[in-house]
Amino acid sequence: MAKNIAEQAGYDLSGILMARGVFTIIFGVIALVWPGMTLVTLAIVTAIWLFVSGITGALSSIFMRDNHQYWFLRLILSLIQFGVGAYLVQRPGISIVTFMLAIGLSFVVEGVIELAVSFTDSDMDGGSRMLGVLLGLLTMAGGIMVWRYPDTGSLAFVWVLGLVALVGGTATLWNAIDMRRSLKSDE
């Protein structure tokens, strides 16, 4: 009975992660295909993405707390993303510079956590570790770029945001599929 409940929780978690990965990939494609969209539209879309990503990340972190020693770092990141997303959703008229700085903060924190987990989590396989390091470096670089040039780097920011979303969505989807595969092999 307990094994069936644990298996169902694993399938539920992998489904949440798959949805997050697909949503993030779609967001990345939109950002790359339409980089010239107005920053106000981008601010709203990004705020919604951070909000949803924060919720799904928090849920997956809570589900993973028994299996991953660094689940709390991902939970902290997810709560920051949720908070930044909620703040930006409630204030659509916020200045673009403030928006860029908030996103930059989220990116730097996410990059640091992703690198820390990638280098120290013994449960990660080689492919997941490589994607995590790539995502961490790209995310940190994007966050630093946004902090350095919050007012003039908006188009470059859109490209970095799109790339981060594509890599991050792919990594999340990869991990979800790997999780589901390992659940099936345990049956």
Where along the chain do its domains lie? 2-186
Residue 1: its pLDDT value, please?
53
Residue 115: its pLDDT value, please?
92
Low-confidence ranges of the chain (pLDDT < 50): none
3-state secondary structure 22-71: HHHHHHHHHHHHCCCCCHHHHHHHHHHHHHHHHHHHHHHHHHCCCCCCCH
* Cβ-proximal residues to 3 (8 Å cutoff; 6+ apart), any chain: none
Residue 137: its pLDDT value, please?
92
pTM (predicted TM-score):
0.59
pLDDT per position as a tens digit, 89-108: 887 667 677 777 877 888 89
Torsions phi, psi of 152, nearest 5? -105, -10
Q: What is the C-alpha separation between 62 and 82, in angstroms, rounded?
A: 15
